[in-house]
Chains A and B, each alone.
Chain A
């Protein structure tokens, strides 16, 4: 296998990890104002992701770094082209990250309320923007022969990409609700379930629209693997909904995780061998062949990734194991 193809796969893996882990973090942040009735409850909700959110976010950072190292042209075109969208995302991630650390360091209700809304905003914006981004990658954006993005911020917003944004946001919210059913106790579990059941209906609607529009607006279904994965994601979602409805939360979370993973696989598979589709001329799309780093760099990076990613998985998994218990009002740090 060409190393650039291997790196396409590794990048997909990094995005699966990122969407799976930060997906429920975003969901928890989005649900925070709706599920937490008083300050203690809101703290419980935040503390369910307290020990892990930072490590989860590093999956995104690593995906960005890997993109820079393996596909510098994609890194350059994507981030300079989606400039204002990325600015919004960074803005959101900055306030969210600080908010986790700052919110409970002062008792003033206004202080806490402010940071709680920062967590909410900081979770909802990236959730939507990632959906908009992924759907733009495959639908195509104006990229010229010199690999430069020649559109504006508003070119990124089309019916399909907005549906993509909403669908991702809903899937992450649903995923976050399922995470909360596993990490909280008694009344909160019931409320998280209720949220999942409610949000799930909307999620189902938007996922179907997304699948339909993916069929009409992109050539994702030209690839059998990608098409099967996307339909598989829908099946997993239906399963997850059924599971949470019948209060089988562990199963529900596993299935919603598979929904996220299969959706990511579907879009990357549909893209392959392209990374960014040009809407001006298919020949101007960025592909694994024309945008990758040198063989030497890819070799070095492959050795590093093969050696290090399993170690990361082991210690990150181990920390999840340490914090496997449900969070109660007695063990709040944030």
Chain B
């Protein structure tokens, strides 16, 4: 079963790595679109520079997101062929629709945006980046539709041992996706907000290009505060939904072994998975019942009782997710989110008082907070996918049934090492380029001489 564990590592590593770039693409595409729209509306050259500066960083990130995404497309066939056979009817459709509706738009219009500065009108050029932003977020919707089915299957029937789609509308209106999509996308918006704040803060500390980065800092501040508040709300709604849709995930995220009325919220715990108990915990009384059900007297089901329910329903087996990583991932995510909120509110307050740029410690705090959204995004996914174990499709297929029978451990070792090494090298190259562009700051575009019309035959004339 070495292939199984290696395949899981490979999927985990490549997906986590892919999702370092996706959130920034989701948010920064919109921010760049807003900046370019301001430029088109006002004709203010500074905003053209803003568009180009953030656009350049966006493109590096975008390229990394695209190439790491290619693996995702083929992964299900390579390492999880039995999943692909079982789920192709349902999973393939959103994936193909993602390609048809989103990937084509994204990739065609990003090309036009990069190369079109002098070829198409300003308005059309700004429209290109709006299309890219729209398509990126639409793409997130499709793939999350597929993921939501894995968390909470809807609109299907099992025929000949395969899950077959019976209701496409149910698939794309899965209540799960309406909680997961906003939370994921807002996570991306917050990431982009912190990206802009952090880099702007860096230049404000150095007092370089101050007018330029004041403008971007201000935009980033408003954007991030709004998105963070929405994100907190969506996180709360999502968790309450999980309490009903995936009680085992919630119980694991809280390390709640016993069914409890007026359940407390554990801030920290020493978890003993073997004996199914917490050796010690630091808790706030009644808080979990309030958070999960808005009712201090409500009951939250514990892992042990849920396990018995699963055994009654699906037969003997181990249905408990890895509690320790899920529990801590959830806490790290919430802590990172709270810290982000604290930092932007403090920075916002000082900005409002006109003191921000005198308080270097505040700017430094903003600068160093850049990893926080990335930590929150990744740990959030650890909760989502870790809390789903041992299922690959909840209630329908377990992870160990999904792995490809035709692959051998050596092949997976080769691909696992190959992907990890190339990703590490690309990370070095990408970070090198980004920091170089960031340090350089905005480059004022020289007035372009009029380029004479190029002579010669074109392809179609």
- Using a CB–CB distance below 8 Å, which chain A residues touch chain B? 47, 50-55, 57-58, 61-62, 64-73, 75-81, 83-84, 86-87, 90-91, 93-95, 97-98, 100-102, 105-106, 147-150, 153, 182-183, 185, 249-250, 253, 293-294, 296-297, 300-301, 304-305, 308-309, 312, 315-316, 319-326, 328, 330-331, 333-334
Name B residues whose Cβ lies closer than 8 Å to a Cβ of A: 59-60, 62-64, 66-68, 70-71, 73-74, 76-79, 81-82, 84-85, 87-93, 95-101, 103-105, 107-112, 114-116, 118-120, 159, 164-166, 168, 404-407, 411-412, 414-415, 418-419, 422, 426, 429-430, 433, 436-437, 451, 454, 456-461
Sorted nearest first, the 4 A-B pairs with minimum C-beta distance are A72-B88, A79-B77, A69-B92, A68-B92
Whether A65 contacts B99 in the complex (CB less than 8 A), given A79-B74, A91-B422, comes out as: yes
A to B contact number (C-beta, < 8 Å): 253
Cβ contacts under 8 Å, B87 to chain A: 72
Closest to B108 in A: A55
Instruction: Report the separation of the CA atoms of residues A83 and B437 in the bound assembly, to the nearest whole angstrom.
Output: 38
A320 to B459 Cα, complex, angstroms: 9
Residues of B close to A101: CB separation below 8 A: 59-60, 62-63
Contact of B99 among A58, A98, A250 (CB under 8 A): A58
Looking at A54, A68, A70, A322, which has the most chain B CB atoms within 10 Å of its CB?
A: A68
Set of chain B residues within 8 Å of A93, measured between Cβ atoms: 67, 70
B407 to A83, Cβ gap below 8 A? yes
Cα(A325)–Cα(B406), bound, Å: 49
**How far apart sit A294 and B422, CA to CA, in the bound complex (Å)?**
38
Please indicate the chain A residues that have their CB under 8 angstroms from the CB of B166 in the complex.
296
Interface pair A300/B93, CB less than 8 Å apart: yes
- B454 to A325, Cβ gap below 8 A? yes
Assess the A87–B414 pair: CB atoms within 8 A.
yes
CB contact under 8 A between A98 and B63, given known A61-B103, A106-B436, A183-B459? yes
Q: Is the interface of A mostly helix, strand, loop or mixed?
A: helix
A57 contacts which chain B residues (CB < 8 A)? 107
> For residue A294, which residues in chain B have a CB less than 8 angstroms away from its CB?
89, 159, 164-165
List, in ascending order, chain B residues with CB within 8 A of A301's CB: 93, 96
Indicate which residue in A72, A105, A182, A330 contacts B433 across the interface (CB closer than 8 Å): A105
Complexed CA–CA distance, A113 and B248 (Å): 53
Complexed CA–CA distance, A322 and B79 (Å): 41
Instruction: Pick the residue among A73, A80, A308, A319 that contacts B112 (CB under 8 A).
Output: A319
Q: How far is the CB of B174 from chain A (nearest CB, A)?
A: 15
| Of the residues A55, A62, A147, A297, contact of B90 by C-beta under 8 Å | A297
CA–CA, A324 and B119, complex, Å:
11
A90 nearest CB across to chain B (Å): 5
- 17 A–B contacts from the bound complex (CB under 8 Å): A47-B115, A53-B111, A54-B107, A68-B88, A68-B95, A70-B92, A70-B96, A79-B84, A83-B406, A83-B412, A90-B71, A185-B456, A308-B100, A312-B100, A325-B456, A326-B458, A334-B114
A331 to chain B, nearest CB (A): 7
The answer to whether A86 and B74 have CB atoms under 8 Å apart is: yes
List A contacts of B407 (CB < 8 A). Answer: 80, 83
Set of chain B residues within 8 Å of A147, measured between Cβ atoms:
85
Q: What CA separation (Å) do A187 and B460 show in the bound complex? A: 21
Complex contact B456–A326 (CB within 8 A): yes
Instruction: State how many angstroms separate the Cβ of B247 from the closest Cβ of chain A.
Output: 31
Bound CA span A79–B406, Å: 10
Q: Which residues from chain B contact A331 at a C-beta distance below 8 Å? A: 115, 118, 451
A50 to B62, CA, bound (A): 15
Pairwise interchain contact A315-B108, C-beta atoms closer than 8 A: yes
Contact present for B168 and A102 (CB under 8 Å):
no
19 other A-B residue contacts (CB within 8 Å) besides A100-B63, A297-B90 = A51-B112, A61-B99, A64-B99, A66-B92, A72-B88, A76-B84, A79-B78, A79-B84, A87-B78, A90-B74, A91-B418, A102-B430, A102-B433, A105-B433, A300-B165, A316-B108, A324-B460, A326-B454, A333-B115
Chain B min CB distance to A119 (Å): 13
In the assembled complex, the Cα of A47 lies from the Cα of B114 at a distance in Å of 11
Report the Cα distance A281→B71, complex, angstroms.
32
Contact B414 A297, beta carbon cutoff 8 Å: no
Q: Is the CB of A66 within 8 A of B164?
A: no
A249, B164: Cα distance in complex, Å: 50
Given A68-B88, A69-B95, do A319 and B63 touch, yes or no (CB 8 Å)? Answer: no
Q: Is A62 in contact with B100, judged by CB distance below 8 angstroms?
A: yes
Nearest CB in chain A: distance from B443 CB, A:
12
Q: How far is the CA of A72 from the CA of B111 in the complex (A)?
A: 31
Would B108 and A73 count as touching, CB distance under 8 A? no
Are the CB atoms of B107 and A80 closer together than 8 Å? no
Query: Measured between alpha carbons, how far is A205 from B407 in the docked complex, in Å?
Result: 36
CA distance A183 to B115 in the complex (A): 15
Are B74 and A322 touching (Cβ within 8 A)? no
Complex CA–CA separation, A4 to B64 (angstroms): 35
B residues in contact with A68, CB < 8 Å: 76-77, 84, 88, 91-92, 95-96
Given contacts A65-B99, A296-B166, A325-B454, contact A72 B64 (CB under 8 A): no
Given contacts A297-B164, A324-B459, contact A333 B77 (CB under 8 A): no
Q: Which residues of A contact B433 (CB under 8 A)?
A: 102, 105-106
Question: Cβ of A293 and Cβ of B89 under 8 Å apart?
Answer: yes
Q: How far is the CA of A297 from the CA of B78 in the complex (A)?
A: 22
With contact pairs A65-B96, A68-B77, A75-B77 given, residues A153 and B411 touching in the complex (Cβ less than 8 Å): yes
The residues of B that contact A150 with a CB separation of less than 8 Å are 406
The answer to whether B114 and A50 have CB atoms under 8 Å apart is yes
Known: A64-B74, A80-B81. A297 touches B92 (CB 8 A): yes
B415 touches A62 (CB 8 A): no
Q: How far is the CA of A198 from the CA of B91 in the complex (A)?
A: 46
The interface residues of chain A lying within 8 Å CB-to-CB of B429 are: 98, 102
Q: Are A322 and B63 in contact (CB under 8 A)?
A: no
Whole-angstrom distance between the alpha carbons of A249 and B97 in the complex? 37
> Which chain A positions have C-beta within 8 A of B120?
322
Query: When chains A and B are docked, how far (Å) is the Cα of A101 from the Cα of B116?
Result: 16
